Amino acid sequence: MSERGGATWSYDLFPWGFAALVALFSLFEENRSFGAQFWFVSALLLGLPHGACDHLVMARLLGHGIKARYIMSFGSIYLGAAGTMFLVWLLAPTAALAAFLALTAWHWGSADAQLYKDRSGDFVLRSTSRGTLLVSSPITLYPEETMDAFSSLLEVTGSARYGASWTSQLAPHAFIASLLLCCLLVARDVKRGRPRKAAREAIEDCIILALFLCSSPVAATGAYFLFWHSWRHVLRVDRFICGKRGGLSRRLVSYHLRALPMTAVSLTGLALMALVLGGSDTEALLSAYLMLLSCLTLPHAALVLFWDAKNERWG
């Protein structure tokens, strides 16, 4: 990827094109029933595996070899953090949902922001802008559908239907603020003589808006998670661990092979979680999967934050 923020096929054009296709398809899909398919595909392709090489990333960051003692230590901390999040879901599901949304906003936003090669305050500003746009868009544009999705997630824990009015009240303000911030970022990059950064920011914001405007919340977030966020993270990790070598298809296959052991562990966790929570219909399984992702997001996002800090994103 260009240090100046230019687009490349692997990092930019593929996720842009896929998101645009999903938005276009959604315009002609009347019952808005698709969307869960993206999430279920992500259990095996890109999505769940995108964090399954975290132990390799941390080992490289710390300069450790992949030995049994390291795997045990890393696994204990990682699973401990994920298990803590699961307990929060069981004991205080509404608080867990709020924490998950906030964590997702930062994690998704910062994952996109790191491509711009910003430093310190600029990185935080762009991360906040993008993450807020991603999380507030479905709540603002389709509040009823989004609240139904939140309720389904909470109901698997035995909690009552989600009815937090503050979410629907706060989201439109956050949505407008994120749009204004996006415009300011574009204008600032133009003023600083960085037209390629400005162009990427404008293009990505417009595609994201089109995706969330045309698609259901489940479809839009699933498409973004699968073929935007996870796609980019997989390529970033592969390049960090192995360097830029081989064709794109070979890199994707080799990544998934390296991720296979931890992906299998995660799928086992999903089966156990579904067993504990009960329910075998599609909606219940999707809710269990999203809950698993939220639990894994806590240690995964912390690791990526540490990675960005090591790369001096904080100045």
Binding-site positions read 50, 107, 229, 233
CA distance 82 to 266: 11
Type of residue at 57:
V
Contact by Cβ (8 Å): 52, 262: yes
Residue with tokens 């240690």, as numbered in its chain: 299
Distance between the two ends of the chain, CA-based, in angstroms? Answer: 21
3-state secondary structure the chain: CCCCCCCCHHHHHHHHHHHHHHHHHHHCCCCCCCCHHHHHHHCCCCCHHHHCCHHHHHHHHHCCCCCHHHHHHHHHHHHHHHHHHHHHHHHCHHHHHHHHHHHHHHHHHHHHHHHHCCCHHHHHHHHHHHHHHHHHHHHHHCHHHHHHHHHHHHHCCCCCCCCCHHHHHHHHHHHHHHHHHHHHHHHHHHHCCCHHHHHHHHHHHHHHHHHHHHCCHHHHHHHHHHHHHHHHHHHHHHHHHHCCCCCHHHHHHHHHHHHHHHHHHHHHHHHHHHHHHCCCCHHHHHHHHHHHHHHHHHHHHHHHHHHHHHCCCCC
Type of residue at 76:
S
Which residues define the annotated binding site for Fe cation? 50, 107, 229, 233
